[in-house]
Every structure is written in C-alpha cells, then in structure tokens.
Amino acid sequence: MSGRSSTASNNYLPFAPGFVDNDGPKIVSTRFGYEDSHTLARSLATGGYDGLKLALRRSPAEVAAEVKEAVLLGRGGAGFPAGIKWGFMPPVWPRYLVVNGDESEPGTYKDRMLMERDPHQLIEGSLITCYALGLNQCFLYVRGEMAQAQENVAQALNDAYAAGFVGKNILGSDVSIDVVLHWGAGAYIVGEETALIESLEGNRGMPRLKPPFFPAAKGLYMKPTIVNNVETLANVPWLMLNGAAEYRKFGSEASPGTRMVAVSGHVKRPGVYEIEQGVVSFRDLFYGDNYCQGIRDDNELKAFVPGGGSAPWFFEDQLDLLQEGRDVGSAGSMLGSGALIVMDHTTDIVKACLRLVRFFARESCGKCTPCREGTAWEEKVLQRILDGHGRPNDIDLLLEIGKNISPGTYPVASFAEQGLDTVPFPPKQTTICPLGPSSVAPITSAIRRFRGEFEAKIDAAQSARVEA
C-alpha cells in the first residue's frame, strides 16, 4: 500500500484521485487527464459550453428529442431513460430541475469525481436540460460531506455566471436560467429523489409515496420536477455536440454510451473506470489488464456486489454476465450506481453482511415502520451472531424479518445448483422506498450462499454456552 508521502500531494489537488484511464472511449471523463480540468479556461479550451451554444440554436423540443433518441439511461441507480422521464412533465409551470449529487451508496464513487474534476461539464449539461424542459430554476444538490466538490462547483458557477454562461441572458440570448448550488448534511436516504425534494424544501429527508408523488408531476413545492443524477447530466454536452447517432455507437443497443464504475475491495487495481455500457463482462472488469488486473494476491473470488450496497450479491457463476441492465436484472440483481465491491475468499461473510445491514439501519429515515424497526432488529441479530451469542433460530429469524420488509421469495442469483430459483428483480416491499428492502439483499445473499458460515458461528456460540 502506498505510504502517505505519495498521497500527500494528491490530497489537496482540486480533484479526486483514483481515476484509471483504460484507453477506451470517453464521454464524460475527457478532461480528466488535465490537472486544471475543473477550470473554466480548460473547459473552454476543450469545447466546453459548445453543446450549450448548439442547443440554444435549436428549439427546446428538438433538444429534448435528441436526448430521447440517444436513450440516455439514468445513472443514479434505476437506469430509467432520461428522455422518457422528461416527457412525463405535465405542461405546468413553474417546474424545476434538481441535480442529484448526493452520492452515498456504499461503494459508489463517480459523481464526486465528476463534480470535482469537471464541474463545468455538469453545469453545461444541466443548462441544456433546463433549456429543453423550458424551465429557469435548477438546483444542484451536492452531498454535504463533499467539501471539495462544493468548492469546485461553486467556483465554476461563479465563473460561469460572470462569463455569461449561466443566469440572465445566457450567451447574450434571451434565455435566462439560474443554477443554485445547494448542499446536503449527511443522510443517505436523501439520494432517493422524493427525499431529496423534501430535503431541498428544508425538511427532514423522508421519501414521499409514489404514487401519488411522482416528481415529474408533483415534485419540489408540488410542482413538476425532474431529478437526474450527476453522471446522467454530465453526458448531455457530449451528446448535444456529437448527436444521438454518435452516442449510440458506444455501448449496446439497449444501453448505449458509457458509464462510470468504481471497483473497490479485493482487486489488484481498484479505481474508477469509464467503460462502455452493456459490452464489458464482470470478468473483463475484474481480471482484464485494462481494468482491475485480477483479485489481490491472486486469491479466489468469494462474492461481489454488482451495483452498490443495495444490490443482491453475485458470485463467480455470474462473472461472465455482461454489465447490461436487463441481463443483470433477470439474474436477480442490478447495476445500480456503478459500484462494484469485490470480496475474496478471506472475507468473513457474516461481518461483511452485518456491515451493509448496519449501514441501512443507521440510514433508515424512520418513516416506515418495517424499515425503521426491521433494519435495527436485523442489525441486532447479526451483531449477536458475530459476537458469539447467536441462537439456533437466528437464521430463520433474519429471513423472516426480511420477509416483513420485503415479502415473497427474495431474488438472489445462482442458486440453481442448490435447487433454488432466481426470481425477477426488483423485489416487493412493505415500505415506501427501497431502502428497507435493500437491507435484506446482503442478508439473503449471504445466508443462502454461505449459510454454513452463519451456522458455524451459532454452533460455536451454542457449544460455548453448553461448556460454560
């Protein structure tokens, strides 16, 4: 592991470290090679705001059509096409754009990088979107803990306002749009779009029920609101400049373009990679020379999280799946927020499972009874097992609590060999939002694949008790 000296210089550079250039096509990381990639000067020198200029010469409807044509999938987790979402807005004004930069999903690390390293790209993408939707108030919601990202975005906005790219009469035109930097204060759930809206209204970030509160129809202040992820909007300038047809040349038919993925855990070269969507397999990513170059110490792979802490786990059986939303979904998990966490055979699976469950218990907003009470209970039971106080019924109990939050058979991939079916993703839920059910994903994943490790800990506890 590198010592502090090597990272010290890295620490206060205005951008996040960890990006690995894999020689593949680039759409959103084109400026990452420059040390001053966050500045207006660099941006302008490399085509920054050209997409906006082009957009302003077209009608808003044409701009929106171009994005729809490109099939720009949302990068926040659900992978819903942005163009189609935009079309859900009823003809009601005022309407708002909210940029979701609350990135907090365990393992996820890309929106911060995009905000720190190329804030102008995000601002430009947001402006084009505002233009397409005919609105003049945009809020950029940046996660509270990301001080550097806030600084870089604030500086970029100040520069862009001064230079006439944002605000009144953009680029001398009659178009006026304000972009306001807003920041959070530490709550994972606020990444969920309706909770984000509550938070932006100054409230506790508790999700609203959909239906009836679909943001596109009833969002911020109960007005039509589009919430898009940072990475989603960072794609828009390139898309504007190069057109939908060019965009669709990358990636697969169903998932065009590229996406940013962060691979962490037990790989030789963890990092953030911009990869083509739908064409790279998990094996390529973990073992490929251009990517992570294998498991650390050439250990065996035990399990991996394919799309953020909320995603049910995959195992070596799924290594050859392409990172294509549809395929991964029918295999019982999701690509989510592009966060891959790799666990090698040395991993204590109960501990890993507890750590994710504990995250959801800590981050539950407390609104829905099953999530508020259930996640806390799950954590307690797992902690007990790990601490050597497990009880014989604890495994069943965990699965039962899980059912109270997320009823029905829970989908976990690759149990064919155990005679278990995979079922379609996503799961059912007794809660308003998927946070509660997300806590069930690591539990069912771990228990159904490594039940023996849980039993071993419980048995040890039992025999210790008998001996005592």
Partner 1 sequence: MSRLSTENEALAREIIARYPRPKSALIPLLHLVQEQDGYVADDAMEHLAELVGVTPAEVLGTCSFYEMFIRHPVGKYKIDVCTNLSCQLVGGEELLHHAEQKLGIRPGGTTEDGMFTLEDVECIAACTEAPCLQVNYRYEYKLSNEDFDQLVDELRQGDRPEIPNHGTLGLVRQHIAPDRLAGIAAPEVTGTPAWFASRQPEPEAAK
Partner 2 sequence: MPLSRPGLRPNSVTATNANETEAGIPFILNGKALLANSGEMLIDACERNGVHIPRFCYHPRMRPVGMCRMCLVEVDTGRGAGLQPSCMLTVSPEMVVNTESTETKQAQEGVLELTLINHPLDCPVCDKGGECPLQDNAYAYGPGESRFVEEKRHFEKPISISSLVQLDRERCILCDRCTRFADEVAGDPLIHFIDRGSQTQVNTFPDHPFSSYFSGNTVQICPVGALTASPYRFKARPWDLAETESTATVDSTGARIVLQSSQDRLVRVLGVDSDAVNWSWLSDKERFLHEATDSNDRLTEPLVRSADGLTPARWTHACELVGDALNVTASQIGVIGGSRLPLEGQYAWAKLLRGELGISNVDAQLGDGLPGEVMLGLPRATIAQACAPAGVVLILGADPKEELPSLYLRLRHAASQDGTKIIELTPRATGLSPNAAISAHPLPGQVGVVAAAIADGKLDAEVGGVAPGQLGAIAELLGSGAPVTVIVGRGNLAESASFTVDAIAALQRAVPEARFLSGLRRGNVHGALELGFAPGLAFGGGLSEDPGLDTAGILRAAANGEIETLLLLAADPLADFPNSELAADALKNVATVVAVDTFLTASTQQANVVLPAAMTGEVDGAFLNLEGRLSPLRAKVSAPGQARPDWMIAVEVSQSVGTPLDFGSIDDVRAGLAADVSVFGSLNWDLLGASGDGPLLEFNRTWEPQFGEPVVAPLPDGYGLRLIVDRKLWDLGTMVQQSESLRDLPEVAAVHLCRQDLEGLGVSEGDDVLVEWSNGSQSLQVRREVGLPRGVARIPFRLPGFNVGDLLSSEDLVAEIRVTVT
Ligand X SMILES: Cc1cc2nc3c(=O)[nH]c(=O)nc-3n(C[C@H](O)[C@H](O)[C@H](O)COP(=O)(O)O)c2cc1C
Q: Any idea which residue has 């096409």 for tokens?
A: 81
Residue 373's binding partner out of ligand X, partner 1, partner 2, none, with CB under 5 to 8 Å set by partner kind: partner 2
What minimum distance in Å lies between the beta carbon of 191 and ligand X?
2
In Å, what is the CA distance from 267 to each residue of 116, 283, 291, 348? 25, 12, 10, 17
∠ CA 106-129-25 to the nearest 5 degrees? 60
Residue 300, Cβ density class (10 Å: 0-12 exposed, 13-18 middle, ≥19 buried):
exposed
Rounded Cα distance, 148 and 15, in Å:
8
Closest CA to 234 of 99, 324, 346: 99
Question: Among residues 15, 32, 49, 183, which is the contact residue for partner 1, using CB under 8 A?
Answer: 183
CB contact at 8 A, 122 and 91: no
User: 188-225: b or e for each residue (b if 16 or more CB lie within 10 Å)?
Assistant: bbbbbbbbbbbbbeeeebbbbeeeebbbbbbbbeebbb
> What binding mask, one character per residue, do residues 170-209 give for partner 2 by CB under 8 A, x or -?
-----------------x----------------x----x
What minimum distance in Å lies between the beta carbon of 311 and partner 2?
21
Q: What percent of the chain is helix, strand and coil (3-state, nearest 5)?
A: 45, 15, 45
Task: Return the number of the residue (69 or 373) whose C-beta is nearest partner 2.
Answer: 373
Question: Which residues inside 193-212 make contact with ligand X, applying CB under 6 A?
Answer: 193
Q: How far is CA 100 from the centre of its chain?
A: 10
52 binds partner 1 (CB under 8 A): no
For residue 316, the 8-state DSSP code is: G
For residue 454, the surrounding DSSP H or E stretch is helix 435-467
21 binds partner 1 (CB under 8 A): no
Rounded Cα distance, 46 and 139, in Å:
26
Task: Return the number of the residue (203 or 393) whose C-beta is nearest partner 1.
Answer: 203
Stretch that binds ligand X, among 29-37, 87-95, 97-105, 277-285 (CB under 6 A): 97-105
Q: How far is CA 393 from the centre of its chain?
A: 35
376 binds partner 1 (CB under 8 A): no
Question: Which residues inside 72-91 make contact with ligand X, applying CB under 6 A?
Answer: 74-78, 80, 82
Q: What are the backbone dihedrals phi and psi of residue 183, each rounded to the nearest 5 degrees, phi first?
A: -135, 155
Task: Return the number of the residue (121 or 232) whose C-beta is nearest ligand X.
Answer: 232
361 binds partner 2 (CB under 8 A): yes
Question: Among residues 16, 40, 105, 444, which is the contact residue for ligand X, using CB under 6 A?
Answer: 105
Question: Among residues 74, 79, 270, 336, which is the contact residue for partner 1, using CB under 8 A?
Answer: 270
Question: Among residues 158, 346, 369, 463, which is the contact residue for partner 2, using CB under 8 A?
Answer: 369
93 binds partner 1 (CB under 8 A): yes
Task: Return the number of the residue (79 or 309) whose C-beta is nearest partner 1.
Answer: 309
Question: Which residues inside 240-269 make contact with ligand X, applying CB under 6 A?
Answer: none
Question: Among residues 18, 243, 407, 426, which is the contact residue for partner 2, using CB under 8 A?
Answer: 407
178 binds partner 1 (CB under 8 A): yes
| DSSP per-residue codes, 351-397 | HHHHHHHHHHHHH--S-SHHHHHHHHHHHHHHHHHHTT---TTHHHH
104 binds partner 1 (CB under 8 A): yes
CB contact at 8 A, 234 and 72: no
CB contact at 8 A, 365 and 356: no
365 binds partner 2 (CB under 8 A): yes
CA dihedral 120→126→132→137, nearest 10 degrees, is -120
Q: Name the token pair of 121.
A: 């790209």
Question: Which residues inside 285-324 make contact with ligand X, applying CB under 6 A?
Answer: none
Question: Among residues 312, 370, 390, 411, which is the contact residue for partner 2, using CB under 8 A?
Answer: 370
Residue 191's binding partner out of partner 2, ligand X, partner 1, none, with CB under 5 to 8 Å set by partner kind: ligand X
429 binds ligand X (CB under 6 A): no
274 binds partner 1 (CB under 8 A): no
Closest CA to 234 of 41, 93, 43, 90: 43
430 binds partner 2 (CB under 8 A): yes
249 binds partner 2 (CB under 8 A): no
229 binds ligand X (CB under 6 A): yes
- Which residue ranges make up the site for ligand X (CB under 6 A)? 74-78, 80, 82, 100, 102-105, 189, 191-193, 227-229, 232, 433-435
Positions in the binding site for partner 2 (CB under 8 A): 187, 204, 209, 211-212, 361-370, 372-377, 380, 391, 393, 397, 400-401, 403-405, 407-408, 428-432
